[in-house]
Structure 1
Amino acid sequence: MIFVTGGAGFIGSNFVLDWVSAGAEDVLNLDKLTYAGNLENLRSLDANSRHSFVRGDIGDQALVESLLAKHRVRAVVNFAAESHVDRSIHSPGTFIDTNVVGTFRLLEAVRGYWSQLQGAERENFRFLHVSTDEVYGSLGPRDPAFTEENKYEPNSPYSASKAASDHLVRAYHHTYGLPVLTTNCSNNYGPYHFPEKLIPLMIVNALAGKPLPVYGDGQQIRDWLYVGDHCSAIRRVLEAGRLGETYNVGGWNEKPNLEIVHTVCALLDEMNPKRGGGSYREQITFVKDRPGHDRRYAIDARKIERELGWKPAETFETGIRKTVQWYLANGDWVQRVQSGAYRDWITQHYAQPA
């Protein structure tokens, strides 16, 4: 069995669904179910005995210790994190609590569990920490893409908290010998993405006839990675990554935010034309840029391809088309997320932590 933390969030739930569908080991899934944790993402697994869900916090060390001991897990994949830059600007303390202190408590629990393992169980155990390219800071227009050797220069409370968690993971390997792996990914997109992030926000607002807010001049550049590709990369790193190493995971898709918005609008114009005619692009509205907005991120993913043979299967064109199609086909999911109905469902079905 593997132990996934944050497995009801966007990337975590995609990973759990992918893992179970691939016929791999059972999954023990721990999630605090904050605003972005949504058990509806995992409803297809309700009757699947290979998926076990526990509502809880990675910062609850006693809970994590008991789960590890009870289920004799052979790997931990840590997705649990606060991840929205705008929220970190307004409420940085939450990000420190979860991403720094929570990761520390998780590492302590895992270290205690791993230290008592013997033989093959000890040899095969892994702790994989999922992080972000934002820890590296911002790039200039002509700077080479981030490699695993770039120094850390986080520019937001979110990225600083993730950088701190990365350092803790590294330290637990070098100090205690904990068998860790770290992945730093670029911007993910795809199904089940909470609609406060750029791509789902544009889709949802466009369909609702609302403004499509674009920060500043819209020329902030990101590398876009389809979430299914990210899941396959994590599986590969967990399978064959060198202990103590970091692997950058990117989609080789550098694009400015405004181009992303234009692409989403064009796909919606094609798949769901406006009743009154015209283009969804007419709803684009430029708004004041957020504080400390990094200008460019770009991932050099050659190491993971060279060492582990992984590269993304989706182009941006194929991935974004799948994403828009998914949101058009799953309007009920979007409506429940926006209304908070899924939280009522959580309260009804998971009133008490396990």
Structure 2
Amino acid sequence: MKQILVTGGCGFIGSNFVHYMLRQHPEYTIVNLDKLTYAGNPENLRDVEHLPTYRFVHGDIADRSLVEDLMKDADAVVHFAAETHVDRSIMDAGSFITTDVHGTFVLLEAARKFPVRRFVHISTDEVYGTAMSPEGVSRPSLETDALMPLSPYAASKAGADRLAFSYWATHNVPVIISRCSNNYGPYQYPEKLIPLFVTNALDNIPLPVYGDGKNTRDWIFVEDHCRAIDTLLHCDGYDGEVFNIGASQEFSVLQITDLILNILGKPASLLQYVKDRAGHVPRHAVDSSKFARIFDWNPVTNFEAMLEKTVTWYVEHESWWRRIKEQDANYRAYYQQQYREREGKS
């Protein structure tokens, strides 16, 4: 491979993946197509802008002409671009359907017209809904489990997931689908759980915990996820396959809250229970044994150690998140609607 088209490369996971690929595969050219919506931040990749093997293209994955022009020279596609925040999808689902489903359709059509060697579609464990067996027993989700999305975001990703599969089944587009658990690490937009709680705690602002805070997630450090995607990008013989990617490190919101407050030396009184959100999934977790078995892959990081490293990153990059939280009108309007109105309604 010579050129990789990365969509949504200015977002959280996308920017970490671009950094990872430029380090691990300096012989590749990485073309980053990003619309720069609220969570797409060019500052995430400011340190690689000068590299001759990196190219940024400001544009929309739903722009057919632009996508086809970029696809002509691509050897592979890694498709991150999506509207991703569950809470925002509950408030306004339209943009999620447009970007996540229609945008994916445009990319797949271009990959059919201008064949690539690999199309890695980044899905999510959210498509499964609550992690449980068909009999209703709580356990990590398997690739063979039914898709039961419980939010408009999860439904839009499930639609894109199955659309990608159909382009392999119908048109032989070399699609591989990854469904990963919750990521954490640097460059994550500060409305997501961990960066929100870290930055609020640094400012001695209450940490808003939905409901009873007992909802659990399997957490994977973003660089472990990037290594897994790299594996899928270069594997042979697995077109049309779905792979769960996780770390088997489950923690509840309350446990994470306690860990963050302890790392920062902040009082437990900063924890604030707020009204639960609609369709809140009690447990997300994936069984990634298929991926581990086939590729001899396992995450190499420990949650507590990497959480502390992540907290330190936000401490050391205050200007990055403070600009968003204090100057981004989109963020401020979202926070006001999502949390201020819930105070005292737990």
Is TM-score (shorter-chain normalized) higher than 0.5?
yes
> Contact conserved, 2:245 with 2:288, CA < 8 A, in 1?
yes
Q: Where do residues 265-280 of structure 1 align in structure 2 (5 Å cutoff)?
A: 265-269=261-265, 279-280=266-267
Structure 2 residue identity aligned to 1:112: K
Equivalence for 2:10: 8
The reply on whether 1:129 has 2:129 as its aligned counterpart is no
Contact persistence 1:40–1:342 (CA under 8 A): no
Partner of 1:251: 247
CA distance in 2, matches of 1:244, 1:166: 11
DSSP 3-state at the match of 2:323 = helix
Tell me the distance in 2 between the aligned counterparts of 1:28 and 1:245. Answer: 25
Is it true that 1:219 corresponds to 2:214 in the alignment? yes
What amino acid sits opposite 1:108 in the alignment?
A: E
Greater alpha carbon shift after TM alignment, 14-23 vs 236-245: 236-245
Q: Report SS of the residue matched to 2:122.
A: strand
What are the residue-to-residue correspondences of 1:65-214 with 2, within 5 Å? Answer: 65-69=68-72, 72-114=73-115, 125-139=117-131, 142-214=137-209
CA offset digits 1:119-161 (Å, max 9, x no partner): xxx6xx1000001001001135952211111110001000000
Measure how far apart 1:340 and its partner are: 4.0
The Cα offsets for residues 173-221 of structure 1, whole Å up to 9 and x where unpaired, read as 0000111101000000000000000000000101111110000000001
* Aligned mates of 2:99, 2:35 — CA distance in 1: 10
Task: Calculate the TM-score normalised by the size of structure 1.
Answer: 0.89
Q: Aligned partner of 2:123: which letter? A: S
Q: SS state of the match for residue 195, structure 1? A: coil
Q: How far off is 1:316 after superposition?
A: 0.6
* Residue pair 1:237, 1:308 contacting (<8 A) in 2 also: no
Partner residue, 2:336 = none
Tell me the TM-score normalised to structure 2 length. 0.91
Which residue is 2:295 aligned to?
308
How far apart, in 2, do the equivalents of 1:297 and 1:15 lie?
23
Cα 1:160–1:340 change in 2 (3 A) is: same
CA distance in 2, matches of 1:342, 1:127: 35
Structure 1 pair 5/342, CA: closer, same or farther in 2 (3 Å)? Answer: farther
Name the aligned partner's letter for residue 90 of structure 1.
M
1:236 to 224, 231, 237: 231
Match of 2:20 among 18, 21, 25: 18
- Post-superposition shift, 1:67? 1.5
Shift of residue 292, structure 1, vs aligned partner: 0.7
Instruction: Please say which of residues 28-37 and 130-139 is displaced more in the overlay.
Output: 130-139
Structure 2 unaligned blocks of 5 or more: 331-346
Paired with 1:55 and 1:266, the residues of 2 have a C-alpha distance of 40
Gaps of 5+ in 1: 115-121, 270-278, 344-354
CA distance in structure 1 between the partners assigned to 2:107 and 2:326 by the alignment: 32
TM-fit CA distance, 1:341:
6.9
What residue in structure 2 maps to residue 348 of structure 1? none
| 2:49/2:55 contact within 8 Å kept | no
Measure the CA separation in 2 of the matches of 1:210 and 1:75. 44
Q: Output the amino acid matched with 1:65.
A: E
- What secondary structure does 1:228 align onto? helix
Residues 1:330 and 2:326 are matched in the alignment: no
Q: SS state of the match for residue 163, structure 2?
A: helix
Q: Deviations over 1:266-293 (max 9, x none)?
A: 1111xxxxxxxxx332100000000010
CA contact (8 A) 1:31 1:55 kept: yes
How far did 1:23 drift? 3.0
- Deviation of residue 319 (structure 1)? 1.3
